[in-house]
Amino acid sequence: MKHLIDPMDLTVEEIDQLIDLGSKILADKEKYQDVCKHKSLATLFFEPSTRTRLSFEAAMLELGGNVLGFSSANSSSASKGESVSDTVRTVSYYSDIIAMRHPKEGAPLVASRKIDVPLINAGDGGHYHPTQTLTDLMTIYQEKGRFHDLTIGMCGDLKFGRTVHSLIKAMSRYENVRFVMISPEELRLPEYIVKDVFEKKNISYQEVRTMEEVMPDLDILYMTRVQRERFFNEQDYIRLKDSFILDLDKLKTAKKDLCIMHPLPRVNEISTKVDDDPRACYFKQVRYGKFIRMALIMTMLGVNVDED
């Protein structure tokens, strides 16, 4: 893997290897604390995303490496009209690996063609965000110990939520995974995903309008934000929004080992009262995200650690 642009660029085997390495780092941080010494990661964020940038930077620092970069287009030469290719190419001479975020779809692909160092897409508009998908997979594996034989509920904005689409594609490659789509009519999963993924691969899926009716079946509940601006009128939003807010009451019928996930940031779609429930995994997800990024950086840099 030279660059990582689309989460589906990764084979199932490559994902297994990354998860395996991420788990080893998580179990023995000290062993990996200097493996990227004298290497540097450039975080080129043409649009701000503090959460994602810090996760990458923390990952590199904990591997003993250095970080450099910029956190918005204003502080880069992009504001002087330089092309994306030129900006990224210039930085590629100062760094060993690049994590890049850009508001335009396909910008990381364009940039990756002009450089010799590996590039990770850290989000290109509403398009791809492969390290979010890896974070979600790492969380599922850590919490469930497997990718097969799971019932996954996805709740909220399934129409525009790119993390949902990517996770569906990634999880559709494993045996006996059932999907339950929980959304208002207005925000249901796009037809092309139903056709290209569920129907083409003969995967079992169900579409419902409330989480209560499916809660007892779920092994994983992936929550997303329902945004006001997605609705035509205020009444529809107010009428529907409570149905897609998770609280302790709705969790009453859930399994004891349900894993509740959310890509964050959360606004109000999960009641803060749920945070202390052992089934809440969305902050653990942040932590897993750092470890899987560590594994990714090591793998893309070709850094190996001797096995005992």
Residues that bind another protein (CB under 8 A): 83-85, 102-107, 109-110, 124-127
> Which of 103/216 has CB closer to another protein?
103
> Which of 112/183 has CB closer to another protein?
112
Minimal distance, residue 51 CB to another protein, in Å: 21
User: Which residues are CB-contacts of 183 (< 8 A; sequence separation ≥ 6)?
Assistant: 154, 155, 156, 157, 158, 159, 189, 207, 209, 244
Q: Catalogue the active-site residues.
A: 51-52, 80, 101, 129
User: Which residues are CB-contacts of 179 (< 8 A; sequence separation ≥ 6)?
Assistant: 151, 152, 154, 168, 171, 172, 198, 203, 204, 205, 206
> Which of 84/168 has CB closer to another protein?
84
* Per-residue three-class SS string for 199-219: HCCCCCEEEECCCCCCHHHCC
What whole-number distance in Å separates Cα of residue 208 and Cα of residue 214?
8
Minimal distance, residue 286 CB to another protein, in Å: 28
Say if residues 101 and 127 touch (Cβ distance below 8 Å).
Answer: no
Identify the three-state secondary structure at position 242: helix
Say if residues 186 and 230 touch (Cβ distance below 8 Å).
Answer: yes
> Which of 81/265 has CB closer to another protein?
81
Please state the φ and ψ torsions of residue 53, each to the nearest 5 degrees: -60, -45
Place of tokens 């297994």: 16
Say if residues 90 and 111 touch (Cβ distance below 8 Å).
Answer: no
65: which 2 tokens?
């490496």
Minimal distance, residue 161 CB to another protein, in Å: 16
Minimal distance, residue 216 CB to another protein, in Å: 37
Question: Burial of 232 by CB count in 10 Å (0-12 exposed, 13-18 middle, 19+ buried)?
Answer: exposed
Tell me the CA distances in angstroms from 105 to 125, 128, 196, one per residue in order: 5, 8, 21
> Which of 48/125 has CB closer to another protein?
125
Minimal distance, residue 165 CB to another protein, in Å: 12
Question: Burial of 181 by CB count in 10 Å (0-12 exposed, 13-18 middle, 19+ buried)?
Answer: buried
Minimal distance, residue 109 CB to another protein, in Å: 6
> Which of 190/216 has CB closer to another protein?
190
